[in-house]
Amino acid sequence: MQGLAYGFLAAHADGDAGEAMDQNLKAALELSGADACRDYYRAWAATYDNGFARDMDYRLPAHVAAAFLGAGGAGPVLDVGAGTGLLAERLREMGFQGQIDAVDFSAEMLGVAGQKRLYAGLFQVDITQGLTLARVYRGIVSSGTFTAGHVGPEAIANLLEVALPGALVALSINRRVWAAAGFDRTLQALGDAGRIIDLRLLEVEVYGAAAAALDADHAGDKALVALFHAV
């Protein structure tokens, strides 16, 4: 399926809409392996926006969008692990008018994103297996994908394969996995190898105040937005 461009897929609604929101988040962060992760999002796609994101006041997409645009980000942009398209929504709300493509390995999450008509292209790809898209990008953004139970630092080099020289990259990395999974060492190594420059880290809150009443374990989660240029 790699590189397959989707039109506008129907949202897949076989998830349990009555499942508790905090249960979804906790389980999502404990996923082990690509198949488990893909299966999880197959069921979560239908309730992700109006359950998890709304109830937890999920702010990470807005932080990444603001960081990217504040640093002068320009299109065309690739949204990595785009999910239901919340980051593209925030970019549009902030006035970004350039082209945005989405990549995600969940057809169901891309299906929801496609209905919003925010993206020029929707590509179903496992980003840990390399990116062989036909397009290259002046901007690469990602929120919520580099976190526990999801994607590790190894995939960052794959993103550089579709980055134009000088492209601005803005990736959120959950604080819990920043050092534990070796994101710090990977970015340092990419800098040492001359593949990225100008690395800056911004610490942001993942959720707003409403999250405290719903999920005390994760309400205070922080992420680092790693901003850098591809060489």
What is the DSSP secondary structure assignment for residue 33, as one 8-state letter? S
Q: Would you count residue 87 as binding ligand SAM (CB under 6 A)?
A: yes
Residues numbered 10 to 39 that lie near ligand SAM (CB under 6 A) are 34, 37
| Count of residues of this chain found to bind ligand SAM when the rule CB under 6 A is applied | 22
Question: Using CB under 6 A, which residues numbered 198 to 227 contact ligand SAM?
Answer: none
Instruction: Give the residue closest to ligand SAM by C-beta.
Output: 83
For residue 13, the SS3 value is: coil
* 136 and 115 Cβ atoms separated by less than 8 Å: no
Compute the least distance from the CB of residue 6 to ligand SAM, in Å: 14
Choice between 54 and 200, CB closer to ligand SAM: 54
User: Rule CB under 6 A: which of 122-151 touch ligand SAM?
Assistant: 126-128, 143-145, 150-151
Q: To the nearest 10°, the Cα dihedral for 175, 44, 56, 149?
A: -10
Q: Pick the binder of ligand SAM from 11, 15, 24, 41 (CB under 6 A).
A: 41
Is 55 among the residues that bind ligand SAM (CB under 6 A)?
A: no
109 binds ligand SAM (CB under 6 A): yes
E strand map for 70-195: 77-80, 100-104, 121-124, 137-146, 163-174
The whole-angstrom separation of Cα 80 and Cα 95 is 20
Residue 83 in contact with ligand SAM, rule: CB under 6 A: yes
Q: Is 90 in the site for ligand SAM (CB under 6 A)?
A: no
Q: Judging by beta carbons within 10 Å of its beta carbon (0-12, 13-18, 19+), is residue 192 exposed, middle or buried?
A: exposed
* 3-state secondary structure at position 138: strand
**Which residues make up the interface to ligand SAM (CB under 6 A)?**
34, 37, 41, 60-61, 81-83, 86-87, 104-106, 109, 126-128, 143-145, 150-151
